[in-house]
Structure 1
Amino acid sequence: MNSSMFLAVVCLAIAAAVATNIPVKDCGSKLATIDAIDINPCSSIPCPFKKGTSVNVTIDFTAKADISSAKSSVHGIIASVPVPFPLKDSDACHFMKCPIKSGDKVTYKNSVDVLTAYPEITVLVKWEIVAEQDVICFTVPVKIVS
């Protein structure tokens, strides 16, 4: 493989990796710093959440405090009212390593089901990992689609 072809392949691989990280808004992370968030599938904002599927979320963060246990919480904000997206398991430690020491780099992987009963609306999704305070908190615009 010549050097220009190798460079093209590397650039495409980097572009594909970067394209999956969707910009989100930190909404009050206290015990960690968000390093990266990947929402799959989500190629544009608002993220299209297709009814009858699952959406996978991977959050890379750096802890600013020791964390022994935490819960996951996902809400859709509709007319300023938080409406819960039910999770199969709210124990965040089942989706990341616990306990966590301050300074640890952690990867959290979870998913949420998009129920067929959900209306086709645009909603702001708020995802939190909570210990005694918000470990991380972010929001992302989402559109529920068929």
Structure 2
Amino acid sequence: MDARFGFILGLCLMMGLTCATSVKFVDCGSSSGKVAMVDINPCTAQPCQLHRGDSYTVNVTFNSDVESQTSTAVVHGIIAGVPIPFPIPEPDGCKSGIQCPIHKGQAYNYATQLPVKSEYPPIKLVVEWELKDDNKNDLFCIRFPVQIV
């Protein structure tokens, strides 16, 4: 039974790796932290193709340079240079995989859902994702291209 469990676990891990890819991103002003990695699941190529009506998991691994009791996500879609607010289901980072309070020098994995509504038009855009600390400074600020299909 242990051999089958190990095989199934290994198979699941391999399947998970094929559905997510490390996303190339640009740091847009992470003043209170440093991003180590960004991935979107499922996303197998870049720019990530986000299908209307589906939901995606966004994972950001970062290190904090500050102490903070809270964290709040702010997301924009940048279309033709204009930032358009993009609501997400849970803007509270402390309810998105982060154990608050946030401590200086520690690594965190922020994980949340990115729903793509069926009424969104098919378009290429840049997503700007910020996670703000108590003082409204960016624990991280990243930009990455996506294509809504």
CA shift at 1:85, angstroms?
Answer: 1.8
Q: 2:101 aligns with which of 99, 102, 105?
A: 99
Q: Which blocks of at least 5 consecutive residues in structure 2 are unaligned?
A: 1-9
1:61-115 Cα offsets, whole Å, 9 max, x none, are 1111111111111110012111122111211111111101101111111011100
1:122 is aligned, of 115, 124, 147, to 124
For residues 38-74 of structure 1, what are the alpha-carbon distances to aligned partners after superposition, in whole Å with 9 as ceiling and x for unaligned? Answer: 1112222211011001111111111111111111111
Structure 1-normalised TM-score? Answer: 0.84
Question: Could you say which residue in structure 1 is the equivalent of 2:88?
Answer: 87
Inter-partner Cα distance in structure 2 for 1:24 and 1:44: 13
Residue 128 of structure 1 deviates from its aligned partner by: 0.7
Q: Deviations over 1:95-144 (max 9, x none)?
A: 11110110111111101110011010000011110122011011111100
- For residues 85 and 42 of structure 2, what CA distance do their matches in structure 1 show? 20
Task: Return the alpha-carbon distance in structure 1 between the equivalents of residues 92 and 144 of structure 2.
Answer: 22
Q: Which runs of 4+ in 1 moved over 6 A?
A: none
Once the two structures are superposed, the pairs formed by residues 15-94 of structure 1 within 5 Å of their partners are 16=17, 20-94=21-95
- Residue type at the aligned position of 1:31: S
Give the Cα–Cα distance (whole angstroms) in 1 for the partners of residues 90 and 113 of structure 2.
10
Separation (CA, whole Å) in 1 of partners of 2:90 and 2:46: 27
Q: How many residues align?
A: 131
CA-based RMSD of the aligned residues comes to 1.6
2:144 aligns with 140
Contact 1:36 1:60 in 2 (8 A): yes
Measured in 1, the distance between the counterparts of 2:21 and 2:48 equals 11
CA distance in 1, matches of 2:55, 2:74: 16
Letter in 1 for 2:112: N
Runs of 5+ consecutive residues of structure 1 not aligned to the other structure: 1-8
Cα distance in 1 for residues equivalent to 2:25 and 2:68: 23
